[in-house]
Structure 1
């Protein structure tokens, strides 16, 4: 009878680690069959596996971090919401005739505190991804998000957004329905909201699709997430007419958490469990919850006007450049 156990999905740079772990398992099975004590050798190999995993994930290139950010088993918005909240009620519809499954949201309690949570939602497999449009939200999704944020502002509930999208849906229908206007409207309106807004990049933050729910008092980011003006593949196709040069584009775009922290765009990097958030989703959720609570506590001490002023200045300070004389 074939095994029903789910095997981990391996990224190319994880193969040496997988080979070592397979070897450990083979030695363990042989030892049990022959009644031989190899516990000391197994301990040494397991220690080597931990060391190798640490070495691999501490020296990932930008393109490799993009692979981790896109991992199909990386926790999604709904995974995190269900893991960190006491209560959760999803709300649907933009009150204009659409309900976009690529962008979800609703009301929740976080450590007993009422909040509004919303974010991009990708699928787990091909069928689910097609239903969720691969996390690429339509204009109705951004209008639904704004409706929920208005609700949060009206009732004094902090807003927590989770960014995980390759970009907004770029189909003809999306353009006909006003994709650019919907995102631009959100950008403007999020600046005027009185309540605390915390935005967290949990996977892939791409282009205006990410910015449509990305204007906040604090921008947080998991260490293996990426945040970029365009996907490396799109950038390579535009600049070099060759998508195969995506790794080169990923280096140039400065898409990693450390790049963005150095540029003053990112406020805080969230450490992931060894091997990425998908390796230990429960621990990743705990890290996210504690970080959100700490930031909420700090932001709640400010007045609405102070928060609006800081939010405005935060974005005004982005994109500073120097002109060097010829």
Structure 2
């Protein structure tokens, strides 16, 4: 969790920022004038906890999108660090190069070896450029598939953590087969013989998310979104401007509540009061405690039955006529 001095706040988090600033002011005054403000500070800290809960109770769809992109929000490697042990990162697609926007490797989750794969955004300007802002190229999806097949070979469960504004749309990505790479992943993931759990931990945009989003269980964290296009892009297509992004966010029905009601995700994983960016350890513990029993449950299902249910699950999605 970032120190207060480095913490960033969204517009609707201003009431919390004001309380934190007041606490810092009282602490400074206490040191300067040797006055005990501990009781006042304790009450203010309690008010912060209440205000954090209050803020996230009535968020609009656009505010959820903003929270999913919060600069202090934990990314894939942070969750891996906080909820697993003995993480061994694996690199490269054995064809083009190692895509830094996609990370993965074996680790231990509650004592059990699993393969964790996810998109990784950067935590500062230099790292965002290195990670390509979490937008994977075709080699990123091919690396992810290679790691999934490796997990299948050793009969280890797979957990994917989805957090991307979309697959990289550059010319070179298209030349190397971006669409084919994502389609291949979807085709292969639905037939994997090991348990697969997918969790949207931030942004779940378009095919970039689907490329690692096919599993026996698909979950969304509380303040995330999952849809075919970002609100800004939707606004620019329909209204030729980003000004209608809030309207687009509402119309896209992209929040975790909407996705669960549509039957597109299985459940919603709660976050610490105010969002995952307030407490990395608590967010990771909540996610871990959610994953462990589900993995145990899935392992007890026979392989062929598990694959059949997975195919049936995704086959029932959407509306169509023949």
TM-score (norm 2): 0.94
Aligned to 2:291: 292
Aligned to 2:148: 149
CA distance in 1, matches of 2:229, 2:308: 29
CA distance in 1, matches of 2:189, 2:20: 48
Deviation, 1:38, is: 4.9
CA distance in 2, matches of 1:97, 1:31: 59
Aligned to 1:20: 19
How is 1:251-266 mapped onto 2 (pairs within 5 angstroms)? 251-266=250-265
Aligned to 2:135: 136
Give CA deviations for 1:153-188 in whole Å, capped at 9, x if unaligned: 111111110100000000000000000000001111
Aligned to 2:196: 197
Deviation, 1:251, is: 0.6
Aligned to 1:72: 71
Give CA deviations for 1:192-213 in whole Å, capped at 9, x if unaligned: 1110000011111110000000
Aligned residue for 1:219, secondary structure, equals strand
| Total equivalences in the alignment | 319
Aligned residue for 2:198, secondary structure, equals strand
Aligned to 1:274: 273
Deviation, 1:267, is: 1.0
How is 1:209-228 mapped onto 2 (pairs within 5 angstroms)? 209-228=208-227
Aligned to 1:239: 238
Once the two structures are overlaid, the 10-residue window that deviates more, 7-16 or 171-180, is 7-16
Deviation, 1:79, is: 1.2
Give CA deviations for 1:192-239 in whole Å, capped at 9, x if unaligned: 111000001111111000000000000111101111111100010111
Q: 1:265 to 1:5 in 2, by over 3 A?
A: closer
Once the two structures are overlaid, the 10-residue window that deviates more, 134-143 or 258-267, is 258-267
Aligned to 2:8: 9
Aligned to 1:315: 314
CA distance in 1, matches of 2:103, 2:36: 53
TM-score (norm 1): 0.93
Aligned residue for 1:192, secondary structure, equals coil
Q: 1:88 to 1:40 in 2, by over 3 A?
A: closer
Once the two structures are overlaid, the 10-residue window that deviates more, 41-50 or 115-124, is 41-50
CA distance in 2, matches of 1:243, 1:195: 42
CA distance in 2, matches of 1:49, 1:93: 44
CA distance in 2, matches of 1:194, 1:11: 43
Question: Could you tell me whether the CA contact under 8 Å between 2:82 and 2:280 is conserved in 1?
Answer: no
Aligned to 2:109: 110
Give CA deviations for 1:65-105 in whole Å, capped at 9, x if unaligned: 11111112211111111222221111111111221110111
- Structure 1 unpaired stretches of 5+: none
Deviation, 1:30, is: 3.6
Deviation, 1:252, is: 0.8
- CA RMSD between the two structures: 1.8
Q: 1:116 to 1:44 in 2, by over 3 A?
A: closer
Aligned residue for 1:250, secondary structure, equals helix
CA distance in 2, matches of 1:320, 1:118: 30
Q: 1:33 to 1:216 in 2, by over 3 A?
A: same
Deviation, 1:28, is: 4.6
